[in-house]
Structure 1
Amino acid sequence: MKLRNVFLLSLAVLLLCDGCSNREEDVEIKYISYNIRYGTANDGDNAWDIRKPATKEMIEREQPDVFGLQEALIGQLEYIDSIFPEYSRVGVGRDDGKEAGEFMAVYYRNEFFDLLDSGNFWLSETPDSCSFGWDAACRRIVTWAKLKDKESGKVFYAFNTHLDHVGEVAREQSILLIVKRINEIVKDDKMPVLLSGDFNSNVSSPIFDPLKAEMKDSRAILPESEWIPTYNSFGNGNDTMIDYIFYKNAEVLDFKTLNGDYGKPYISDHYPVMATMKI
């Protein structure tokens, strides 16, 4: 009887340790940030109805675990929902907190992740209400999701945003607010956090200094000679690098600017960017 008890105790310890090991194992996450270009724009041959198959092809080919969209209107989201039921999303329209205006939607693979929490805040002096901020031309919003990997139990946060294209004060103050809100929402200073978006600024701008004090730019894994502009303006020049994925408490394994052929010369007026992270 004693030998049997010792065996059962040993087995229980082994199972417990194995469970601990599984919970602590690293998880790889493929994350895409994509300014999809709002669907009602009068873009001629680059109109949404013409290029949306390229968005479908990109998602099918790249197979992101999580992706953050900027400028997406409800009709564009419903199209993605209809063809990719394996993804769920969070987010609200920036113009009414429901379905009006552009979304900063966060999509995640529902077979891989559980949604633990989510929320939105506006980039303004009154972030908890639908509002314009500072000198911004448009309402701007951040959408976030707290996700748990079903297999490992690892938890991480994904934040997604789009800074104003006009207001310089708004961009500067928005970065300060994002840093403040991330710290308030996440609380745990060891928690993996990802922040994606169209920042309408180059990372060399001093407005990024408060963010760079807290998080790292995933593109920095590459030599600067391999950095590719992300705003392509459908080939009309003015190429700039304004789309980013920042992170903390994670490791970047790979970074790509998705400027390949997905069936159209330009998938959007921005190229998506993709980071493979280990958390």
Structure 2
Amino acid sequence: MIKTLLLATLIACSSMLSAQDLKIISFNIRYNSWNNIDGENGWPYRKASVAKMIEQEKPLAIGLQEALIDQLQYLDSALPSYRRIGLGRDDGKEAGEFMAIYYNTDAVELLSGETRWLSATPETPSKGWDAACFRTVTKARFKIKESGKEFIYLNTHLDHVGKTARAESAKLIASLAKEIEEGTPIILGGDMNSTIDDEIFQSFYAEGLEAARELAPKKHSDNRITYNAYGKDKGVVIDHFFVRGVKVKSFRTLDGDYGVPYISDHYPIEIVVK
């Protein structure tokens, strides 16, 4: 009887501790190409597995990159516990890729949110510097329902061509972090199209943001490739999380089996913070 009570107490304490942890995912979902250039790796063949991954991992929030409106509409239906924030990058409405953030409405409340363009005119749809594409960052402020605590999630996708654009975009994102009051945790994630040793990240470090992969305990972290190119090349690590004001308990690259060979040409990355 005593052993049973002790076990129940330990389980209760474990559940209580885990309830304080925040699980966040960043995922370049790979856009749904109109001409099916991805063949058997196209969105129609992997969309159910993307939803399965999210249902299985149960993140508090997940930031998506490259998502088009039809992909979001599918996930809206497949994930009834989640709502999203974000705008299409081409027109500030539904055209083009979204840097959407889905959040679990059972666990968090959205307090505010906005989309900024990574350009010299961040409040209007625009292309910045030498970028090949319009690029955006989605900013959301959440309140955790259980504790009442707030945190900021920034989700972005830096340009794959323009070196100046990546550097200037990082500065712009860092300026958003600078505006956030001290003491409010910040989680910044996305496809940065840059390895962690790139100098552009100095802008983040200057505002107290640190690389989550390096903050996590070694036994609970990894440095696996994040861009997998559907297995066509050796891949590279270009998706990252940066944090301020939280303790990183774990960092994972989600390269497991979700029912198809690849759920995207990028693997999702996941952090658990406290």
Asked if Structure 1 and Structure 2 have the same fold, meaning a TM-score greater than 0.5 normalized by the shorter chain, the answer is: yes
Question: How do 1:246-257 residues align onto structure 2 when only pairs under 5 Å count?
Answer: 246-257=242-253
Q: Which of 223, 228, 253 is the equivalent residue of 2:224? A: 228
Aligned-pair identity in percent equals 49
2:33 is equivalent to residue 37 of structure 1:
no
Q: SS of the residue aligned with 2:27?
A: strand
Q: Which of 57, 65, 74 is the equivalent residue of 1:70? A: 65
Q: SS of the residue aligned with 2:201?
A: helix
Native 8 Å contact 1:27 1:154 kept in 2 = no
Q: Which of 112, 118, 121 is the equivalent residue of 1:123? A: 118
Deviation at 1:223, TM superposition (A): 4.1
Q: Which residue of 2 aligns with 1:258?
A: 254
Structure 1 segments unaligned to the other structure (5+ residues): 1-25
Question: How do 1:1-279 residues align onto structure 2 when only pairs under 5 Å count?
Answer: 27-40=20-33, 42-184=37-179, 186=180, 188-213=181-206, 214-220=208-214, 221-223=216-218, 226-278=222-274
What amino acid is the match of 2:205?
A: K
Distance 2:239 2:222 in 1: 15
What amino acid is the match of 2:187?
A: L
Deviation at 1:163, TM superposition (A): 0.2
Distance 1:179 1:264 in 2: 37
Q: SS of the residue aligned with 2:126?
A: coil
What amino acid is the match of 1:215?
A: L
Deviation at 1:211, TM superposition (A): 0.8
Bigger CA radius of gyration: 1
Pick closer, same or farther for the CA change 1:244–1:270 going to 2, 3 Å.
same
Distance 1:204 1:222 in 2: 20
Over the aligned positions, Cα root-mean-square deviation in angstroms equals 1.6
What amino acid is the match of 1:255?
A: F
What amino acid is the match of 2:266?
A: H
Pick closer, same or farther for the CA change 1:137–1:50 going to 2, 3 Å.
same
Aligned length: 252
1:207-227: per-residue Cα shift (whole Å, max 9, x none)? 111212321111112549941
Q: SS of the residue aligned with 1:229?
A: coil
Distance 1:152 1:189 in 2: 19
Distance 1:181 1:276 in 2: 23
- Displaced runs of 4 or more, over 6 A: none
Q: SS of the residue aligned with 2:190?
A: strand
Q: SS of the residue aligned with 1:202?
A: coil
Structure 2 segments unaligned to the other structure (5+ residues): 1-18
What amino acid is the match of 1:161?
A: T
What amino acid is the match of 1:211?
A: F
Deviation at 1:238, TM superposition (A): 4.1
What amino acid is the match of 2:265?
A: D
Distance 1:75 1:228 in 2: 30
1:39-82: per-residue Cα shift (whole Å, max 9, x none)? 12520010000011110111111111110000000010011100
1:177-216: per-residue Cα shift (whole Å, max 9, x none)? 10012222x2x11110100100000010111112123211
1:127-150: per-residue Cα shift (whole Å, max 9, x none)? 111100000000000011100011
What amino acid is the match of 2:176?
A: R
Distance 2:112 2:263 in 1: 31
Distance 1:69 1:239 in 2: 20
Distance 1:178 1:70 in 2: 16
Q: SS of the residue aligned with 2:52?
A: helix
Q: Which residue of 2 aligns with 1:23?
A: none
Distance 2:250 2:168 in 1: 30
Native 8 Å contact 2:213 2:222 kept in 1 = no
Q: SS of the residue aligned with 2:154?
A: strand
Q: SS of the residue aligned with 1:148?
A: strand
- TM-score normalized with structure 1 length: 0.87
